[in-house]
Chain A
């Protein structure tokens, strides 16, 4: 008995720092935001105590629904592009790179050592009218005059895929590496060509990684704001900008808090869907 008690105290002591940290910096702020989302405001932007559902009711105005639709479209497109680009990269590193695999994985991580905003600003320079891409294309005779790429939806997508590609590659890589190479050989042995072996064996077996990657990209993509503003010119309002605007420009903290909570709920649903899909994939085995 005394020993069991001691072990419990030890476990508690070891967990305490992270519990304190998470409570102070995640749970408490979250509760504050949740409380604000039901609060009132005075005309000067100060939060007044009280309880109302008006903030959530306001969200169902068409202008806000459009913002949700924009965010969803951006997140879905980003996820799809990341999977299309990231899967071949992960496949190559897992099956073809051999001894170069650790080095390639490290190369994917290195950009993370640089501040996110600086990396995105680099794309502003690259994509600009006087940027490397335009200048290079003109030097090669591919273009006569510079093309305006900045401020387009395409530029936003380039930045999004760039930012989320490593997050896509890692879970897919992790799902691909344990696949027994004999299974691929068995596929070929039994008459399936390389494409069919991939579609019928490798791809289904790597689905858990694909689902994880989709989740890791989709959820944060719903809340981005810097990339569309810096590269896409902020032409379409998305959830990220909306929250920033509501908090900092319109001083409508309760409404901003309501949008934040809705975004959080959205992510929660995404995670739930992921868990269910994963359960189904695992059940296949």
Chain B
């Protein structure tokens, strides 16, 4: 019943209520076949609930869920063609690694010989070939993670659901696993639906990201789209670092506006229909703030407050007229850094500034 012009997972008007609490307000979402789809958001935004709705651990209060074109809204979890990698791994403590990985095949009455062969192959795939007889408690977190992945992949599910699978790993291991997961997803061509609160992880791995808040999708976009052209102040603030500056629209032109800020006027490109006199917030990414030697259009003079050395980057925080602070980020290329207390001209490119109404 595969239907190529719809997505592999579709949510239509899905609402989920727990007693009086509405976890999912209203969700319409299409996840495309073979993509790496991420649901990103702070805790309580509804991302995990959405994943559990797709897995079948929760049933929607309203709306329909389709997997591969079939309506599975009322289908219990064990009959859905999706598998989950849990944050806590959820390996069965009383079964060996091999039996854990072979579990989906045991349940489907796959003959023993074939089951063991496929379980070994799945463990080789995640580089856990030497651990067949161990118990889960004898493995490290990262190893358990790999076993959980092998177990979820052995049956070649249409969709793999991953609930913050890297959350419990240390930073270095997490980075490694990010690349490995992404690479595995490309190779196997399985649709990944990934849940995380880590925006960097989301940006690195995803084809598309749904930024969620309060049981709704705030923005659904590619990583670059979400980072470069956030559609709301919330998105701009949640993803990456952002400077926020209060201002007021003075004049509106074609595709651009003049905004009063820092006691002067700045040019901002905007497609928004906006009228003069509107109070707005201007945002700009720290790496888009440029150092300029002299005064000029869209340049504001500030005074350097502090310097943070990050390693690859240097972070410079400026006190601006009107009491706002602006952070500038520039690559550490070895040149002499300015000294706190020194004045400096900062340039805000009209295409780098973004304008949001309150």
Contacts and interface: CB of A to CB of B under 8 A. Distances in A.
Interface of A: 180, 182-183, 185-194, 196-197, 200-201, 204-205, 284-285
A188 B90 CA distance: 12
Interface in B82-106: 82-84, 86, 88, 90, 92-94, 103-104, 106
B90 A205 contact: no
Contacts of B103: 187, 190, 192, 200
A285 B155 contact: no
B83 to A, nearest CB: 6
25 contacts: A180-B90, A183-B92, A183-B93, A185-B86, A186-B84, A186-B90, A186-B92, A187-B78, A187-B92, A187-B103, A188-B57, A188-B78, A190-B155, A191-B79, A191-B107, A191-B108, A191-B155, A192-B103, A193-B78, A196-B107, A201-B92, A201-B94, A205-B94, A284-B135, A285-B94
The 9 A-B residue pairs with the shortest CB-CB distance in the complex, in nearest-first order: A186-B90, A188-B77, A182-B90, A190-B104, A188-B78, A192-B107, A284-B94, A191-B107, A189-B84
Given A188-B78, A189-B78, A190-B107, A205 B93 contact: yes
Q: Do most interface residues of chain A lie in helix, strand or loop, or is the interface mixed?
A: helix
Contacts of B135: 284-285
B275 interface: no
Nearest to B161: A189
B67 to A, nearest CB: 13
A201 B91 CA distance: 11
B137 interface: yes
Interface residues of B, number: 26
A180 B136 CA distance: 14
B76 interface: yes
A182 to B, nearest CB: 4
Contacts of A188: 56-57, 76-78
- Of A188, A193, A284, the most chain B CB neighbours within 10 A belong to A188
B94 A204 contact: yes
A183 B76 contact: no
A104 B89 CA distance: 32
Contacts of A193: 76, 78
B107 A183 contact: no
B320 interface: no
Contacts of B155: 190-191
A190 B88 contact: no
Interface of B: 55-57, 76-79, 82-84, 86, 88, 90, 92-94, 103-104, 106-108, 135, 137, 151-152, 155
Contacts of B137: 285
B93 A285 contact: yes
Contacts of B90: 180, 182-183, 185-186
Contacts, number: 71
A189 B94 contact: no
A40 to B, nearest CB: 55
Contact of A190 (B57, B76, B94, B151): B151
A200 to B, nearest CB: 8
A194 B76 CA distance: 10
Given A185-B55, A201-B92, 11 more contacts: A180-B88, A180-B90, A183-B93, A188-B57, A189-B57, A190-B78, A190-B83, A191-B108, A200-B92, A284-B94, A285-B93
Nearest to A182: B90
B232 to A, nearest CB: 34
A180 B88 CA distance: 10
A188 B104 CA distance: 10
Given A180-B88, A204-B94, A284-B94, A189 B83 contact: yes
B110 to A, nearest CB: 11
Nearest to A190: B104
Contacts of A180: 88, 90
B78 A191 contact: yes
Nearest to A285: B93
Contacts of B107: 190-192, 196, 200
A183 to B, nearest CB: 5
Contacts of A196: 107
Contacts of A185: 55, 57, 77, 84, 86, 90
Contacts of A182: 86, 88, 90
Nearest to A284: B94
Contacts of B104: 190-191
Nearest to B104: A190
A74 to B, nearest CB: 33
Contacts of A187: 78, 92, 103
A183 B135 CA distance: 15
B103 to A, nearest CB: 5
Nearest to A281: B94
Contacts of A189: 55-57, 77-78, 82-84
B64 to A, nearest CB: 21
Contacts of A194: 78
Nearest to A183: B90
Nearest to A196: B107
Contacts of B56: 188-189
Given A185-B57, A205-B94, A285-B93, A192 B78 contact: yes
A195 to B, nearest CB: 10
B239 to A, nearest CB: 30
Contacts of B55: 185, 189
